[in-house]
Chains A and B, each alone.
Chain A
Amino acid sequence: EPEVTQTPSHQVTQMGQEVILRCVPISNHLYFYWYRQILGQKVEFLVSFYNNEISEKSEIFDDQFSVERPDGSNFTLKIRSTKLEDSAMYFCASTGHPYNEQFFGPGTRLTVL
């Protein structure tokens, strides 16, 4: 069964450093999302992406964040200058239709020291 994959599974970085989290959505999906989940808390929407542009973003997704689909398979989330409060699990998700179920990847645990 096709699945969303994410790399790395765990990323440790120093405050102020840039990180890039990578996702490979399911191949025939067209809608891509990033969410974050601080430990023990709820899943928070960051951004949705369709047709090579951002379709929606939340207040969390400020100028420090950017997304890109550099080729036909990868979907990346970049945090330019990480802060301690960026420590969380970051989930990528994809779907074939915007109102259908979203398929989540296994997540990348980001730890900012």
Chain B
Amino acid sequence: GQQVMQIPQYQHVQEGEDFTTYCNSSTTLSNIQWYKQRPGGHPVFLIQLVKSGEVKKQKRLTFQFGEAKKNSSLHITATQTTDVGTYFCAGTNNAGNMLTFGGGTRLMVKP
């Protein structure tokens, strides 16, 4: 079945440093979504990418979808303590609307 891997599993950064998490799927995706989960919270939708090579920005966050639609990345510029949480990518393939989540990258930001 479809597998979605994310690296790194954990990342500690100093406030102000940049952060990137990478997502790779074993199969071609029809779209990819990114979610953020704060400690003790539930996943909250950040963005969806649909087109091959698509790049979207939300303030300090930049999301990319690979040309082959099998990989994606999330980059945060100049992290802040409010960025703390686990970032999950989740993909769907053409077979249906089931979201397959990656393992998540837990971001910790030192003030």
Contact = CB atoms under 8 A, between A and B. Distances in A.
A100 to B, nearest CB: 7
B103 interface: yes
Interface string A99-113: 111111111000000
Residue among B35, B97, B101 with max Cβ neighbours from chain A (10 Å): B97
Interface residues of A, number: 23
A45 B88 contact: no
Given A91-B43, A106-B42, A99 B104 contact: no
A42 B103 contact: yes
Interface of A: 31, 33, 35, 41-45, 48, 55-56, 58, 91, 98-107
Interface of B: 30-31, 33, 35, 37, 41-45, 48, 88, 90, 92, 96-104
26 contacts: A31-B97, A42-B102, A42-B104, A43-B35, A43-B37, A43-B90, A43-B101, A43-B104, A44-B101, A45-B98, A45-B101, A48-B96, A48-B97, A48-B98, A55-B97, A56-B97, A91-B42, A99-B31, A99-B48, A99-B97, A100-B48, A101-B48, A103-B45, A104-B35, A104-B43, A104-B44
